[in-house]
Amino acid sequence: MPLLPILFWPDERLSQPCAEVADPTATADLVADMFETMYAAPGRGLAGPQVGRMLRLFVMDTTWKTSAGTPVACINPVIVAKSDQLVTGTEACLSIPGVDMLVPRSEWIDMEWMDVEGQRHVERLTGFDAICAQHEYDHLDGIVIFDRLPDEDRARKESAYEAHRQ
């Protein structure tokens, strides 16, 4: 399985919404490559547009760095409910390396998705799982973490990112 090249902001594909996956079972090879790429990066989540695949899918494994892994592939995910209570946590992004940002997210989400076998899942995600899923879900709608910041913070973080890239 090959490692996929990760796109870096401001690549325009990171700002575009993705298309639905017509056949979840046809994504098995892509999903396997995305997991391999995510682990090698090393990240905890990776969305289709980050590797140039403009499809509504992402992979995540929020526990592999600290304990046994819990890999999850989410195809055509939909957030069906979310908490009004926000939590702010530090987030980083494989497409925006070298900077982290404080981003407010819903404390929990109820998300529905398909896996690579075409099985439907509905689950309440909390804690870091909820944060990671919301981060990756944003990518599917063309939203990066810069877009979640107030203008002044965004300008400062973009400058830090540009300095890191040089």
SS3 state at 152:
helix
Which pair of structure tokens corresponds to residue 165?
Answer: 């890239």
Kindly state the DSSP code that residue 61 receives in the 8-state scheme: -
Query: What amino acid positions are annotated as catalytic residues?
Result: 136
Which pair of structure tokens corresponds to residue 122?
Answer: 């509905």
The radius of gyration computed from the CA coordinates of the chain, to the nearest angstrom, equals: 15
Strand partners, 110: 81, 124
Tokens 């002044």, located at residue = 152
